[in-house]
């Protein structure tokens, strides 16, 4: 059995950045569901949180998992689940694109805290501001036209 510990910080938004997850209760239910569903699929979510129109998820990849497959499983199933609940008046969708950045073991606590504090973080910063910071900080400028 291989021993692997590869942390990835995933960030993705709702389709067209629509604030579908408008209440804290709805967000808590979504994050809880994503975590429970991921566990059934042997996806280890270290930490998950987000805000009205996006999600942050710190995942430890297994040796046979790919980022694409994990995102497909998490986003696809959670969209299906929330639509099946008939909680929203309109159809819920996640954007196809996502950010995925590796996280050094020495920075895992820092990323956890960043994800944990999304509510207070977004009291002072919009999703668009955070999005642009990710683009700049991680050098995604060359991809920007493809993910907007």
At 45-90, the pLDDT tens digits run 999 999 999 999 999 999 999 999 999 999 999 999 999 999 899 9
Residue 35 domain-assigned? yes
Rounded distance between C-alpha atoms, residue 143 and residue 121, angstroms: 25
What average pLDDT does the structure give for the chain?
Answer: 90
SS3 88: coil
Q: Is 9 exposed, middle or buried (0-12, 13-18, 19+ CB in 10 A)?
A: buried
Give the CATH number of the domain where residue 52 resides: 3.30.70.1290
Taken as a whole, the chain contains a residue count of 148
What pLDDT sits at residue 143?
Answer: 56
Residue 73 domain-assigned? yes
Residue 1 domain-assigned? no
Q: What's the distance, CA 116 to chain centroid?
A: 12
124: phi then psi, degrees, rounded to nearest 5: -120, -10
Residue 139 domain-assigned? yes
SS3 128: helix
Tens digit of each residue's pLDDT (9 = 90 or more) over 63-74 = 999 999 999 999
What pLDDT sits at residue 109?
Answer: 96
Q: How many domains does the chain have?
A: 1
Boundaries of domain holding 140: 6-147
pTM score: 0.87
Find out whether 147 and 97 touch, Cβ atoms under 8 Å: yes
């Amino acid at each position: 059995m291989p021993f692997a510990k590869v942390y990835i910080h995933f960030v993705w938004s709702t389709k067209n950045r629509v604030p579908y997850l408008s209440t804290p209760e709805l967000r808590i239910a979504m994050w809880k569901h994503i975590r429970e569903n991921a566990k059934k699929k042997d996806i280890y979510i270290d930490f998950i949180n987000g805000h009205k129109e996006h999600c942050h998820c710190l995942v430890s990849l297994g040796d046979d998992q790919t980022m694409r497959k994990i995102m497909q499983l998490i986003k696809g199933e959670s969209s299906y689940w929330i639509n099946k609940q008939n909680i929203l008046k309109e159809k819920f969708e996640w954007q196809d694109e996502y950010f995925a950045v590796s996280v050094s073991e020495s920075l895992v606590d820092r990323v956890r805290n960043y994800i944990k504090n999304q509510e207070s973080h977004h009291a002072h910063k919009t999703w668009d501001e955070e999005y642009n910071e990710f683009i700049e900080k991680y050098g995604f400028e060359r991809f920007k036209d493809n993910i907007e």
